[in-house]
Structure 1
Amino acid sequence: MTASHLEQLLIARLIREKGGTSQTWRRALGKVIVRDAETHAHCNWDVRLSGTETQRAAIERLLDDVRLEHSIVAAG
């Protein structure tokens, strides 16, 4: 899975679970940051959250689940 696919997956799940628009969630989610898998063997990606406290809490809960399913992603 690539970072852009991961971003699409996160946004789709947020819309399905919490409602709202893709643009709103994309702004709240921020960019997916991919790190070197050699130095981050457990999970090589992260996001820089913005948005409201409620949006950030919803994203954090989702990230916990998604990291278990997709811990390593490729850039792109």
Structure 2
Amino acid sequence: MTADGIIDMLVARLVRDHGRSKHHWRKVIGRVRLYSRDTHPHCNWAITPAGSAQEIAVVETLMDDLRMRHPLLTA
């Protein structure tokens, strides 16, 4: 899985489950930060969402679910 792929998955689920536009959720999600597998062998990616408290909570809950299925991303 790639960083772009994980964002696409997040956006699709957010639009389906919570409405709003793809553009809106991409702004809330922000960018994916990738880390070296040498220093982060269990999960090498992170997202720092920005938006309302409710939007951030929704994104973080979904991120936890996706981290379990896709812990390691490629550039």
Interval of TM-score (by shorter of Structure 1 and Structure 2)? over 0.9
Q: Tell me how far apart the structure 1 counterparts of residues 11 and 26 of structure 2 sit (CA, whole Å).
A: 7
Instruction: State the one-letter code of the partner of 1:27.
Output: K
What 5-or-longer segments of structure 1 have no aligned partner? Answer: none
Corresponding residue of 1:39: 39
Tell me the TM-score normalized by structure 1. Answer: 0.94
Corresponding residue of 1:9: 9
Q: How far off is 1:5 after superposition?
A: 0.8
1:10-43 deviation per Cα after TM superposition (whole angstroms, max 9, x unaligned): 1111111111110110000000111101110110
Corresponding residue of 1:23: 23
**Paired residues, number:** 75
Q: Tell me how far apart the structure 1 counterparts of residues 61 and 24 of structure 2 sit (CA, whole Å).
A: 17
Instruction: State the one-letter code of the partner of 2:28.
Output: A
Tell me the TM-score normalized by structure 2. Answer: 0.95
Percent identity (aligned): 37
1:18-76 deviation per Cα after TM superposition (whole angstroms, max 9, x unaligned): 1111011000000011110111011000012111111001001101100000000001x
What 5-or-longer segments of structure 2 have no aligned partner? Answer: none
Could you say what the CA RMSD is over the residues aligned between the two structures, in angstroms? Answer: 0.7
